[in-house]
Amino acid sequence: MATIAVLGTFDTKGEEHGYVAELIRARGHATLLIDVGALEAPRITPDVPRTEIAAAAGVDLAGIVARRDRGEAVSAMTRGAPIVVKRLQEAGRIDALISLGGGGGTAICTAAMRALPVGFPKLMVSTLASGNTAPYVGVKDIVMMPSVVDVAGLNRLSRTLLAQAAGAICGMVEARVPAGGNDKPVILASQFGNTTPCVTHARGLLEQAGYEVMIFAATGNGGRTLESLAEAGIAAGVLDITTTEWADELVGGVLTAGPTRCDAAARLGIPAILTPGCLDMVNFGEPASIPEKFKGRRFYHHNAQVTLMRTNVEECAELGRILARKCNASTGPVTVLLPLRGISVISAPGQPFHWPEADTALFGEWKKHLRPGIPVIEYDGNINDPAFAELCVAELQKNIAARSLSR
């Protein structure tokens, strides 16, 4: 029997959370009811009262109630809920988490879910689940289920959907991962469509060598997830072939992973390989979405929804300086590998983004600002040559061995 936390605003949505809790218990699991409501009395009796959530946030709940400030209440509960839920998870008191909510409830409860580790079952039934869920999900495995109707009372449709949600969270907590494969050291790798041949070949070599390879699409969220898992300490090494998200961060594209990209491995001393994969491109949507200031630049229409813009000489020079700073912060072994004949499929000679002067600026500034002691290997070929992937794997294995010897 598992204990499933049922988290929500019990003053406005107590009946619905109570219904879900009853269905969970009917399937043989225990529930722990956590109230993050504030302004009205809870409609069901919680196991963890709202005062405990407010205390974790360091706020006076009575004062919030007296002021009748809903925004302040949501803010306080959004700060306190992650602290309490994480504490319960670390103490082994809960095995899964489910919540139901509108705008405020979704903000509070997904904040709590983001505090939980990947692999811990989490399900959010939300009125916002059919829109842009990225701010709510972040880099965690939160399942967002559309409520279809508002979470405002029980009716023939909401009963059906909430019953399915209860069944889903029970199924998630009952699922068992087949044994095997968990004893292999993990390599985190970054990939884009334009570096897929390189990463695919490298992955095969690393798997033959006994590693488990986790590949993340360098689409902003993928880079943030890679950083999060590196931060969690699960990686034996990082194969950062595709640092393209830095081009979007610098220039203003839509696939930025933020200013902390490439920080985790450096700070924690995880052995790493960095290459300039796809730093030749900045990502935008359809052509009409491209800011007017970029008129006249070199573009490549990848598909109807994606337009790529070539980074110019000045931008590439600055990207070189940025990546040098990221490497310089490394506390463990790191190696820079530079493919001199193209950093993506479309920057190879004869391709639309081939621009030797821009690549030279990128490579030159990266090398110029790199601190002594960090190896730089220049490869006279394209990033997607099998030989380049083989070189990356060999150097990563050297760095992993060096880290092991230094311990």
Position 139 confidence tier, pLDDT thresholds 50, 70, 90? confident
pLDDT of residue 209: 97
pLDDT of residue 284: 96
237 bridge partner residues: 187
Using one digit for the tens of pLDDT, what is the confidence trace for 370-400? 999 999 999 999 999 999 999 999 999 999 9
3-state secondary structure of 393: helix
pLDDT of residue 66: 80
Homologous superfamily of 3-174 in CATH? Uncharacterised protein family UPF0261, NN domain (3.40.50.12020)
Using one digit for the tens of pLDDT, what is the confidence trace for 233-245? 889 999 999 999 9
Q: What is the DSSP string of 20-78?
A: HHHHHHHTT-EEEEEE---SS--SS--SB-HHHHHHHHT--HHHHHHHT-HHHHHHHHH
pLDDT of residue 181: 58
Q: Residue 99: is its pLDDT beyond 90?
A: yes
Architecture per CATH, domain 186-406, reads as 3-Layer(aba) Sandwich (3.40)
Structure tokens at 209: 């060598």
Chain region(s) in the chain for CATH 3.40.50.12020: 3-174
Structure tokens at 266: 């450096």
pLDDT of residue 129: 94
Structure tokens at 362: 């990128």
Using one digit for the tens of pLDDT, what is the confidence trace for 344-354? 999 999 999 99
pLDDT of residue 407: 66
Q: Residue 180: is its pLDDT beyond 90?
A: no
pLDDT of residue 177: 80
Q: What is the DSSP string of 183-218?
A: TSPEEEEEE-GGGHHHHHHHHHHHHHTT-EEEEEES
Position 79 confidence tier, pLDDT thresholds 50, 70, 90? very high
Chain region(s) in the chain for CATH 3.40.50.12030: 186-406
Average pLDDT of the chain, as a whole number: 95
Using one digit for the tens of pLDDT, what is the confidence trace for 245-285? 999 999 999 999 999 999 999 999 999 999 999 999 999 99
Position 182 confidence tier, pLDDT thresholds 50, 70, 90? low
Using one digit for the tens of pLDDT, what is the confidence trace for 322-370? 999 999 999 999 999 999 999 999 999 999 999 999 999 999 999 999 9
